[in-house]
Amino acid sequence: MKKKIAVFANTWNSDIVSTFLAGFERKLKKDEYDTFVFLAANSYGKSEISNLSELSIHSLPVFEEYSAAVVFSQGLNSNEARQQIYENCEKAGIPTFCVGDTHPGFYGMLINNEEAMKSMCEHLYNEHNVRKVVFLAGSKENDDSNARLEAVSSFMKEKGLPFGEKDVCYTDWEVRKAMEFILKNFTEKEDLPDAFICANDILAIAADMGVERLGYSCPGDVAVTGFDYVYSGRTYYPSIATINQRFDEMGEVCARSINTVLKGGSVPEVQWIKSSFEAGESCGCINPRHDDEQRKSFCHSIIGKEYDESNRSGVIYTIRSAFQESSRFSTLPQKLQKAIYNTTNEEVRSFYLMLDPSLERLAYEEPEVLPKYTYSEKMQVVLAKKDGTPLDAYHVNKRDLIPEYDGKGPNTIYFVMPLYVESFVVGYFIMVKKDTSIRDWIFENYESCMIQSLTYYKTNIRLTALNDKLSELMQTDALTSLKNRTAFENAKNLLKNHVLAKDEIRFAAVMFDLNDLKKVNDELGHSAGDSYIKNSSVLICNTFKHSPVFRIGGDEFVAIVKNSDYEKRYELLDEFKKEIDRLSKEDISPMERISVACGMADYDEIDNDDIETLFKKADDRMYENKHLMKAGRK
């Protein structure tokens, strides 16, 4: 059995995670490890409920099942989530590697950005005459963003240049906020700084777009720099001047450390990777990194990506349709299986979808009263496809995570993301892909599709539940709570369909009619008449316990005798008559006294499979019994 490594990350820093995993997988011992990447898509732009549901994925794994953990500490967008992961790793006693952080008892994987940040500032100052700077920060509580801000602030102070709070915008890592800040504050050219220094490359691209919308150019009118050296920043025009944090090298170092620690060796508690400044076109340098080669490669791959996206859209459409066309949980798995099992799309060659067996509760309860931000101990396997082959597993324990996981074969990366309806976490899905799939936002595409589809599904099952309730009310007798005449006609039509289909059916019909109901109403009142009807219905139901009973008129009932009742139908009818004989005597209390005539006919008795003839025969025998009862002969 291979060792399992849990990785905790966020999709918003997907390029970093992708680069790290590429180096990580290169240095892991072959055929010895499987990597499970638990991905949340929480962000500062989402609601608190959505973010907490997203972060629930970090509590899904049973930590004791893993040999080691890697935590992208500063990239989780939540200090609380980071601390909870740390506590779970401590309880499980597994070696834990913190990317961008240190923690007592864990291994810190840190990047020395100080020299690279100073090199960037020196480059802007010396090569491009930058004197006035505006910093586009991430969130106020993010340590990485704050360290980058501090480096810029220290450099400006060292050079005696003005730089204060008004020169900092906290964007919460949102492109929208960065662009709004630029469009609002720099309408005049003289207001522009010499450079926008940004906490990451995505914000740098946003800054360039904002400048362009104002009618200015980068780097002609203002320089822009980023941080992280992400793929989109390298292929963008102008290419983003940035800090390369060498996450591929960090992945390699982390993998070698895990190999060593799990074999009983020792590694330093804190390891440093040295980053480097990468000049780009956005700071005013002319193609310093041969970015045109990157762009050629990017353009070459566009057609292939369009083909992949087209295929993905087709799969996503069928998944969405399966949810939208399902109104009961019992029909959902089959529809989703048809969508995934019948496609040859490589993206879902290995694909798992697990849902909470209590998902149907959404039909009757609001999400806020259901369990919040937690997973059921046992999940229903709605989809399980491994290397193109469907699996037959129906349930899986949370501890196992994946059905029929055997820990054999080459090293594999499993990407795990949550599914939820508001605060009710209803399950998770797993895809097996290359590390670059995070960078291409593939997983978030599927997650977004299924979470939106679950909202449609919730509406469907609620409407179905409401219709079922209305149908039940329409087919229920208010006085006795038995099925009414409408329900009886539906049951009779179903029997006719079975007959037409030549199904092997065995049943009998028993017709009942209450004696002297009008007399009871006239002499004792309608309240007594109601009790008379209810007492009669109770006796009929207690006699034919395993058969449906209908009230088809004021004083008429019918039982369709099935199942074990059918085997004892004659004995049960005799018991009923004996009980009627006892309950109709004069010494019985008027409120308990009942008299009911009955007649039975068996399906085997009639010719030409005529269901109506069957009930007519039972009705005739009931009237024969009524005449005998009135004549004093039971």
Rounded CA separation 442/142 (Å): 26
Give yes or no for residue 86 having a pLDDT over 90: yes
**490, 387: one domain:** no
Nearest in space to 199 (alpha carbons), one of 140, 239, 248: 140
Average pLDDT over residues 372-380: 94
- Percentage of the chain modeled with pLDDT above 90: 68
Whether the upstream peptide bond of residue 219 has omega within 30° of 0, thus cis, is yes
Question: Which of 244, 265, 296 is a domain's end point?
Answer: 244
In a domain? residue 375 = yes
**503, 543: one domain:** yes
**552, 607: one domain:** yes
Give yes or no for residue 439 having a pLDDT over 70: no
**161, 233: one domain:** yes
Question: Which of 187, 222, 244 is a domain's end point?
Answer: 244
Report the number of distinct structural domains present in the chain. 3
Q: Beta strands of 334-481 (E only): which ranges? A: 351-355, 378-386, 389-390, 395-397, 412-421, 424-432
The residue to which tokens 């060792």 are assigned = 3
In a domain? residue 332 = no
In a domain? residue 323 = no
51-60, 404-413, 429-438 — most confident range: 51-60
In a domain? residue 580 = yes
Q: How confident is the model at residue 574 (pLDDT cuts 50, 70, 90)?
A: very high
**368, 397: one domain:** yes
* CATH number, domain with residue 546: 3.30.70.270
**In sequence order, what DSSP letters do the residues of 445-459 get, joined into one string?**
HHHHHHHHHHHHHHH
pLDDT tens profile 483-522: 999 999 999 999 988 888 788 889 999 999 999 999 999 9
In a domain? residue 494 = yes
* CATH number, domain with residue 127: 3.40.50.2300
- Residue-level pLDDT at 562: 93
**42, 126: one domain:** no
pLDDT tens profile 268-278: 999 999 999 99
Angle at 618 between CA 612 and CA 620, to 5 degrees: 100
* CA 458 to each of CA 240, 339, 367: distance values in angstroms, whole numbers, following the listed order: 44, 20, 10
Q: Which domain holds residue 589?
A: 485-630
Give yes or no for residue 300 having a pLDDT over 70: no
Q: How confident is the model at residue 471 (pLDDT cuts 50, 70, 90)?
A: confident
The residue to which tokens 């992280």 are assigned = 228
Give yes or no for residue 545 having a pLDDT over 70: yes
Phi and psi for 421 in degrees, rounded to 5?
Answer: -120, 105
Residues present in the chain in total: 634
Nearest in space to 594 (alpha carbons), one of 529, 502, 544, 510: 529
In a domain? residue 369 = yes
pLDDT tens profile 453-467: 999 999 998 898 888
- The predicted model scores a pTM of 0.75
- Residue-level pLDDT at 620: 95
Give yes or no for residue 436 having a pLDDT over 60: no
Question: Which of 244, 273, 299 is a domain's end point?
Answer: 244
The residue to which tokens 């990317």 are assigned = 99
pLDDT tens profile 221-253: 999 999 999 888 999 999 999 999 999 999 999
**621, 505: one domain:** yes
In a domain? residue 79 = yes
Q: How confident is the model at residue 50 (pLDDT cuts 50, 70, 90)?
A: very high
Give yes or no for residue 605 having a pLDDT over 60: yes
Give yes or no for residue 403 having a pLDDT over 80: yes
**507, 626: one domain:** yes
- Residue-level pLDDT at 472: 80
Top-confidence residue, 4 or 1: 4
The whole-chain average pLDDT of the chain stands at 91
**41, 21: one domain:** yes
Give yes or no for residue 624 having a pLDDT over 80: yes
**8, 72: one domain:** yes
- The angle that helices 175-185 and 201-213 make with each other, rounded to 10 degrees, is 40
**In sequence order, what DSSP letters do the residues of 523-583 get, joined into one string?**
HH-HHHHHHHHHHHHHHHHHHSTTS-EEE-SSSEEEEEE-HHHHHTHHHHHHHHHHHHHHH
* Residues with Cβ within 8 Å of residue 283, at least 6 apart in sequence: 123, 124, 127, 128, 195, 219, 223, 224, 225, 241
**219, 143: one domain:** yes
Partners of 98 in the beta sheet? 71, 108
**443, 498: one domain:** no
- Residue-level pLDDT at 301: 67
In a domain? residue 154 = yes
